[in-house]
Amino acid sequence: MSSAMSNEIDIRIEGHAGRITLCRPEALNALSYAMCLAIEAALDAWASDAKVALIVIDAQGDRAFCAGGDIAQMHAHGMRGDYAFGHRFWFDEYRMNAKLFQFPKPVVSLMQGYTMGGGVGIGCHGSHRIVCETSKLALPECGIGLAPDVGSTLLLARAPGRLGEYLGTTGTRMGPGDAIHAGFADYYIPHADWPALIAALCASGDWEAVDRAAQTPPDSPLAAQQEAIDGFFGGDTIRDCVNLLRLSESDFAQGALAALKAGSPLAVACTLELVHRARLRDTIEHALEQEYRFSYRAMEHGDFLEGIRAAIIDKDKSPKWRHASLDDVAQTTVSGMLMPLGAAGWRMQAKGHVA
């Protein structure tokens, strides 16, 4: 089976493996709406296909597995007042993320270079998640006025201690050792060994080939900072965390404060709440439903359009956020961004949703 979107994504069966390869290396394999739908169609077809023993997801190029969703596409629609495109993109993308998370067969993902945002939703919900020496994983959404989504708040909530709160609000990048420590990856396998591993998986359909190829991962700098992270990021609200950080003169505290200040105050405050909510229920459907509440409102009532303008349109890196600082975001405002959406809310069953 070969995808009609062969210029962006290559979907086929090789031996015993369903193969999904992202083919936009020049765009750091950013996910378009069509790519999300193509991946979902493959998952639907392969779930009950006896020829497919497992799925292998990889990407072309050395720089990135997938640096995120195609935010330029969303910005163009949003600036015309067309919020429905973003709503539909996120609604359908999240359903695909949930299907990956719940897929009944092994899913092997190989994440080189940048794996961020929407890339986490493709690469980090499988059963056999592989990183290498170049891997850099992050959830930098707050920097463009969005909150971590694609089910990532569940991964954040499951990370050791308060690591999830820290990674989600600061956008800190994880190397391979960090990604495994935080629960975003499972195996360290040098990039040079990947072609032989993929060939073995296709030939045999035996996912234990991944275990045999795995090597000892590098150390995790985050693990060494765990005590500090737990101490500073254990607050009920983002203001609690900020107040603790301000009282410290440590390099870690000052660096964390600077990272928090770089993001949209509204997005940062909502991210902390989303991680807390994901931890309470611990299901992918609940995490996605909560994330969608924020995403749905992010263009019209949040900082998403301004964040993208500053980052990739005008590239002035000087966003004018709705709130001057984290001190200015009331908890009632956070609650308002995360209120139920009623009939427009996210759910697994619907498809092609336009609100």
Question: Could you tell me if residue 1 is inside a domain?
Answer: no
| The predicted structure's pLDDT at residue 350 | 63
Mean pLDDT of 299-322: 96
Determine, yes or no, domain membership for 303.
Answer: yes
33 is a domain residue? yes
Considering the chain, what percentage of its residues have pLDDT values greater than 90? 94
Query: What pTM did the predictor assign?
Result: 0.96
**CB neighbours of residue 222 within 10 Å:** 21
CA angle 19-54-287, nearest 5°? 90
Q: How confident is the model at residue 6 (pLDDT cuts 50, 70, 90)?
A: low
Q: Would you place residue 1 in the very low, low, confident or very high pLDDT band (cuts 50, 70, 90)? A: very low
Per-residue confidence (pLDDT) for residue 349, from 0 to 100 = 77
What are the percentages of helix, strand and coil residues in the chain, rounded to 5?
Answer: 55, 10, 35
pLDDT at 219: 98
How many domains is the chain built from? 1
Say what percent of the chain tops pLDDT 70. Answer: 97
The residues, ordered by sequence, that sit 6+ positions from 208 with a Cβ below 8 Å of its Cβ are none
Q: Confirm whether 349 is domain-assigned.
A: no
Residue type, 66: C
pLDDT in tens, 31-47: 999 999 999 999 999 99
Q: Is the pLDDT of residue 3 over 50?
A: no
Structural domain range at position 83? 9-344
Identify whether the C-beta of residue 189 lies closer than 8 Å to the C-beta of residue 215.
Answer: yes
Q: CATH number, domain at 267?
A: 3.90.226.10
d(CA 199, CA 213): 12
Q: pLDDT of 211-228, one tens digit each?
A: 999 999 999 999 999 999
Q: Is residue 96 part of a domain?
A: yes
Please enumerate in sequence order all residues whose Cβ is within 8 A of that of 90, keeping only pairs 6 or more positions apart, or say none: 149, 292, 295, 296, 346
Residue 279 lies in a domain: yes
Task: List pLDDT tens digits, range 190-218.
Answer: 999 999 999 999 999 999 999 999 999 99
> Chain centroid to CA 80: how far?
26
Residue holding tokens 């609690």?
240
What is the chain's mean pLDDT, rounded? 95
Considering the domain boundaries, does residue 46 fall inside one? yes
Residue 165 forms part of a structural domain: yes
Residue 330 confidence (pLDDT) above 90: yes
Residue corresponding to tokens 């992050």: 138
Which pair of tokens denotes residue 150? 């694609």
| Dist CA 308 CA 295 (whole Å) | 14
Q: What is the pLDDT of residues 70-98, one digit of tens each?
A: 888 889 999 999 999 999 999 999 999 99
